[in-house]
Chains A and B, each alone.
Chain A
Amino acid sequence: GDSVTQMEGPVTLSEEAFLTINCTYTATGYPSLFWYVQYPGEGLQLLLKATKADDKGSNKGFEATYRKETTSFHLEKGSVQVSDSAVYFCALIWAAGNKLTFGGGTRVLVKP
């Protein structure tokens, strides 16, 4: 079945550092890909999405590119802030199944 694999955390960074969170997937066909973020004490919220190969999703300074050849959707941000401390979840949806499948989440801690 469909699955999503993320790098394990926690990832600890200093402010203004470069962040990368790796995400790879296995799925039948070509799913749509997403990053969700969960800030402390809050519910998950959609951060960005890409619906086809080579699409780049972006939001709040974060970017991720749908790479069909490597079945990856790595999340990047050039200069993190303390407020980016959260748990990040990679997810996919396969249109026929119409169900979100999440990775295990990666906790990111940004220190001042």
Chain B
Amino acid sequence: EAGVAQSPRYKIIEKRQSVAFWCNPISGHATLYWYQQILGQGPKLLIQFQNNGVVDDSQLPKDRFSAERLKGVDSTLKIQPAKLEDSAVYLCASSFVGVTYEQYFGPGTRLTVT
């Protein structure tokens, strides 16, 4: 069974630039999550989708972050413009509906903002 795919794996940008991350969840998983993991901390949920609808985006900094899941499968997370404090690993995860505790994580995208 293929796992959660993410790209790119690494990205270095300058502050005020834009960046986008892509995620392809496990086939059949209707729920998709984006997390931000700052070095030395646990993952923090940014946004949760069920199919193509947003379930929870309470911790998403909406002035600069956006995410979409147009067809209920792939998802993109965008940051525009980036700040130094956005340097982190961005994790995508997916799960079956109603099985929120058993999430399958991708390898993450390490973002460095200089």
Give residues in A with beta carbon < 8 Å to B.
4, 32, 34, 41-46, 49, 89, 91, 93, 98-100, 102-105
Contacts and interface: CB of A to CB of B under 8 A. Distances in A.
From DSSP, what is the main secondary structure of chain A's interface residues? strand
B45 A99 contact: yes
Contacts of A104: 40-42
Interface in B44-89: 44-45, 48, 56
B41 A49 contact: no
Given A93-B101, A99-B56, A43 B45 contact: no
A61 B98 CA distance: 28
B32 interface: no
A34 B100 contact: no
Interface of B: 3-4, 40-45, 48, 56, 91, 93, 100-108
Contacts, number: 50
Given A34-B101, A49-B101, A102 B108 contact: no
A61 to B, nearest CB: 20
Contacts of B43: 44, 89, 100, 102
A55 to B, nearest CB: 13
A44 B6 CA distance: 13
Contacts of A34: 101
A100 B43 CA distance: 9
Contact of A46 (B48, B56, B103, B108): B103
